Amino acid sequence: MTTLPVTPAFNEKTGVATLTFNRPEVLNAIDVPMAQAFHHAVKDLAGKPGLRCVVLTGAGRAFMAGGDVASMSGSPVQTREAVNGMLDALIPAILKLRAMDAPVIAGVKGAAAGAGLSLALMADLIVAEESARFLIAYNGIGTVPDCGGTWFLPHKIGSARATEMMMLGRTLTAIEAKQWGLVTEVSPQGEFDKTLAAVVHRVANGPTKAFGAFRRLVDDASGSPLEAHLEAERQAFLKATESADFAEGVSAFLAKRPAAFSGK
């Protein structure tokens, strides 16, 4: 049986989809087939009924050690073909994930480097094992981050710290990454699955449509004038009031009980 370079799973009961980068023999380094498999898996999730949360994780000892440099080591023409082949799949996959209502959580063990760092940053929340490491790595091969790395990293930790990571080759431990605002939760060694599951459970049981609207507002905030953004917030709020989750949230608030959101 052929092993898929990205293994998808969907729990219909919880609404949680898990996409596992699955080339553990090379620390999940991404090449064109893996990028294409990731895009295919994301397309399958788009519009899936009952989707409440997407989890990205890596098989084996790493989340993702970056791009498969060996696949980019040929002639200039071969290098361009390899890079474009990966990005032609990864860019639409990233845009599709960011356009979904379902929150995206990255579960990081080991290294999140290069494209692996960019893809982890693309997630709304990052849960990291204590031994995880975060590094840009592109400076080591004389190029610049892709997959949104130069967009997501300054948004999360500021341009000065992003520049430090790039120009000084700074590697962050999981604890440092949390202190810098990159990581949401750090799990002790041996408790990663439990910690990740707890965060996923909490997010997957939240108001999914409101989470999606919140993400889009945050993504647009830095590029829009205040007046336009205030109006965008108004429209997003009014749209949310039409949802079943809003009705449930108001009912629960008035009844002084926990809300049971359905994601609808």
Nearest to 127, CA basis, from 217, 58, 195: 195
If asked whether residues 72 and 93 sit together in one domain, one would say yes
Domain end marker among 168, 188, 204: 204
Domain range for 229 is: 208-255
pLDDT digits (tens, 9 = 90+) for 149-194: 999 999 999 999 999 999 999 999 999 999 999 999 999 999 999 9
With residue 175 as reference, give the H or E element that holds it.
helix 174-179
If asked whether residues 194 and 216 sit together in one domain, one would say no
What pLDDT is stored for residue 2 in this prediction? 65
What pLDDT is stored for residue 1 in this prediction? 52
Residue 184: phi, psi to the nearest 5? -85, -45
If asked whether residues 216 and 193 sit together in one domain, one would say no
Ranges in the chain, pLDDT < 50: none
For the chain, the domain total comes to 2
If asked whether residues 23 and 104 sit together in one domain, one would say yes
Burial class (CB in 10 A: 0-12, 13-18, 19+), 226: exposed
CATH number at 184 reads 3.90.226.10
pLDDT digits (tens, 9 = 90+) for 124-152: 999 999 999 999 988 888 888 899 999 99
Q: How far is CA 263 from CA 18, 116, 218, 223, 230, in A?
A: 18, 29, 20, 28, 25
If asked whether residues 24 and 122 sit together in one domain, one would say yes
What pLDDT is stored for residue 230 in this prediction? 84
Residue 264 placed within a domain: no
Pull the structure tokens for residue 18. 């898990």
